[in-house]
């Protein structure tokens, strides 16, 4: 990690710092002047209604999308300003679990998990084997190592992807909906795993999830985003017991309240009365 040319901005206690960040999709602002800190060595959860831009946020941190304004500082580097090769170097210290899993379909489960090890390390084959089997064991898929991704169930694929995301023991792991599609047992395992990995290896975790209970049980700090803003933040207890109406509505799962469940749209009457034109 010596060849990164851009200057380190500051040695901070935060692994990720997002400052005054605005991101537009066409005319629609997904984020408006958002500030978020992800403290080092902690599990930080991002929560919010579907479609508010949680996945987008992870992609912004990973440098796959560029904000229209503001800074996204990861480990001292302002990601939007990094050149291609520097960006790839910063990313080699990140692991990301995609919402869809995104396993490489032409490789077996074993090779999928081995992939980051092969490209970023020169470890001998038997070491790679040990590491891969260890990671697969952790997610309960050691027996499935020879299966191809098309032979896995949705939940299994996601766990395999989780094993791949943590294969390199990255400094920052981003989990996009790690609990979705898991049965209660697997869910418990994954919840524990995230917490355990974070504590044992001292890396920084970002968990995106809708599952209030599970998230609250492992997150050190929670951000609730909605409508392009951070509408609440704090420790799990603080957020769960928040007085802020929008936060309370979301955390308690009330259908009616200030947080919109619907994608922005003209009023229902208008839409129906407008007749056939879409």
Partner 1 sequence: MIERIAALGRSGLDILEAMGRSGMVLFHALWAWPNVRTSFPLLVKQIYAVGVLSMVIIVVSGLFIGMVLALQGYNILNRYGSEQALGQMVALTLLRELGPVVTALLFAGRAGSALTAEIGLMKTTEQLASMEMIGVDPLRRIVSPRFWAGFICMPTLALIFSSVGVLGAYAVGVLWLGVDGGSFWSNMQGSVEWGEDVMNGFIKSVVFGVVVTWIAVFQGYDTVPTSEGISRSTTRTVVYASLAVLGLDFILTAVMFGEL
Ligand X SMILES: Nc1ncnc2c1ncn2[C@@H]1O[C@H](COP(=O)(O)OP(=O)(O)OP(=O)(O)O)[C@@H](O)[C@H]1O
Could you tell me the smallest distance in angstroms from the CB atom of residue 93 to partner 1?
8
Could you tell me the smallest distance in angstroms from the CB atom of residue 46 to partner 1?
17
Q: Round to whole Å and give the CA distance between 237 and 222.
A: 9
Taking phi over 0 as left and psi of -120 to 50 as alpha, with beta for the rest, 35 belongs to beta
Distances (CA, A) of 50 to 25, 250, 263: 16, 11, 9
**The pairing of beta strand 43-47 with beta strand 94-97:** unpaired
Starting at the edge strand found earlier in the chain, the sheet holding 77-78 runs 28-39, 14-25, 69-74, 77-78
Q: Round to whole Å and give the CA distance between 33 and 43.
A: 23
Scan residues 70-129 and list those touching partner 1 (CB under 8 A). Answer: 84, 88-89, 91-92, 94-96, 98-100, 102-105, 115-116, 118-120
What does 262 interact with, of Mg ion, partner 1, ligand X, none (CB < 5 to 8 A by kind)? none
**Site mask, Mg ion, residues 98-117, x = CB under 5 A?**
-x------------------
What does 277 interact with, of ligand X, Mg ion, partner 1, none (CB < 5 to 8 A by kind)? none
**Site mask, Mg ion, residues 50-79, x = CB under 5 A?**
-----x------------------------
Q: Encoding tokens for residue 7?
A: 């200057």
Q: With CA atoms as reference, report the closest residue to 227 among 17, 18, 53.
A: 53
SS3 136: helix
What does 119 interact with, of partner 1, ligand X, Mg ion, none (CB < 5 to 8 A by kind)? partner 1
Contact 215, 222 (CB under 8 A): yes
Cross-strand pairs, 36: 18
Interface positions with ligand X (CB under 6 A): 25, 30, 50-56, 99
Complex with ligand X: residue 30 or 87, whichever CB lies closer: 30
User: Could you tell me how many residues of this chain bind partner 1 (CB under 8 A)?
Assistant: 25
Q: Encoding tokens for residue 39?
A: 């403290």
Complex with partner 1: residue 84 or 262, whichever CB lies closer: 84
Residue numbers of the site for partner 1 (CB under 8 A)? 59, 62, 64, 84, 88-89, 91-92, 94-96, 98-100, 102-105, 115-116, 118-120, 161, 164
Residues that bind Mg ion (CB under 5 A): 55, 99
């Amino acid at each position: 990690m010596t060849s990164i040319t851009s200057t380190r901005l500051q040695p901070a206690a935060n692994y990720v710092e997002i400052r005054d960040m605005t991101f537009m999709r066409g005319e629609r602002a997904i984020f408006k002047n958002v500030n978020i800190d992800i403290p080092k060595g902690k599990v930080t959860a991002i929560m919010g209604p579907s479609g508010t831009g949680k996945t987008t946020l992870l992609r912004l941190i990973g440098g796959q999308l560029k904000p229209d304004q503001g800074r996204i500082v990861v480990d001292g580097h302002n990601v939007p300003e990094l050149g291609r090769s520097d960006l790839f170097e910063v990313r080699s210290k990140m692991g990301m679990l995609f919402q869809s899993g995104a396993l490489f379909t032409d490789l077996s489960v074993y090779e999928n998990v081995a992939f980051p090890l092969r490209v970023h390390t020169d470890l001998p084959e038997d070491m790679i084997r040990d590491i891969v089997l260890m990671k697969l064991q952790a997610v309960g898929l050691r027996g499935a190592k020879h299966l191809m991704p098309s032979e896995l169930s949705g939940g299994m694929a996601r766990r395999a992807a989780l094993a791949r995301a943590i294969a390199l023991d990255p400094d920052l792991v981003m989990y996009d909906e790690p609990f979705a599609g898991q049965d209660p047992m697997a869910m418990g395992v994954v919840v524990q795993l995230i917490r355990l990995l974070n504590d044992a290896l001292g890396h920084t975790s970002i968990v995106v999830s809708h599952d209030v209970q599970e998230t609250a049980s492992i997150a050190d700090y929670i951000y609730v985003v909605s409508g392009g803003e951070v509408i609440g933040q704090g420790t799990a207890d603080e957020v769960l017991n928040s007085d802020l109406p929008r936060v309370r509505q979301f955390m308690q799962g009330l259908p009616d309240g200030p947080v919109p469940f619907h994608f922005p749209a003209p009023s229902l009457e208008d839409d129906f009365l407008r007749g056939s034109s879409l």
